[in-house]
Amino acid sequence: MRQKITLWQLVGFSLTSLFGTVLHFLYEWSGQSIFAALISGVNESTWEHMKLLYFPLFAFALVQSLFFKGNPNFWCIKLRGIITGLILIPILFYTYNGIIGNSPDWINISIFFIAAAAVFIYEARLLKRRDIQCREPWLAFLIICFIGVFFILFTFVTPRMGIFLDPVTGNYGI
């Protein structure tokens, strides 16, 4: 079982990395399609980079859940993993920028991959444990879905906060 979990997490990291990268460019490639904007990055804000991690993680979790039906803790573990990745991106980005003062693209790209790797390493450890008790897996799933709703909503109705600011254009959202 441990090897199966490790393999799943390696596949998940690979697919999340691949699709997160594609989502970075999808909005532009699609001619700025509103449908693409729902799940892809529409600008270079930290929030939109978090969105690039969320949607591949969620999609992979949906597929993975079909094979982990026997694990009642699955959705609680996925919720913890997704929140970990979403928190890591702004922490790493703003910490790095606060110390160095600028942000080369290769560092920003690395932050995405570091956050994705952290998610799957953390989830692998949790999936291998037997002492986790998920009392309400449906609630964990619902919270994960609500996170997605906020990513979509804030693409179109964007709060005027720093995390949503596109540092390239100075705009918010679309």
Contact 27, 41 (CB under 8 A): yes
Residues 6+ apart with CB under 8 A from 141: 75, 79
Q: How far apart are CA 13 and CA 171, in angstroms?
A: 31
Query: How many Cβ atoms sit within 10 Å of the Cβ of residue 8?
Result: 19
Position 49 pLDDT exceeds 70: yes
Residues 6+ apart with CB under 8 A from 126: 73, 77, 80, 81, 132
Phi, psi of 172 (to 5 degrees): -120, 135
Angle between helices 74-100 and 105-128 (to 10 degrees): 150
Give pLDDT tens digits for 120-140: 999 999 999 888 889 999 999
Confidence at residue 56, expressed as pLDDT on a 0 to 100 scale: 98
Q: How far apart are CA 119 and CA 85, in angstroms?
A: 5
Whole-structure pTM value: 0.93
The mean of the pLDDT values for the chain is 94
Give pLDDT tens digits for 50-59: 999 999 999 9
Give pLDDT tens digits for 93-105: 999 878 877 777 7
Contact 43, 26 (CB under 8 A): no
Give pLDDT tens digits for 71-101: 999 999 999 999 999 999 999 999 987 887 7
148-to-31, 98, 124, 127, 136 alpha-carbon distances in Å: 23, 28, 23, 23, 19
Query: Could you tell me which residue, 5 or 148, shows the higher pLDDT?
Result: 148
Percent of the chain at pLDDT above 90? Answer: 81
26-36 average pLDDT score: 97
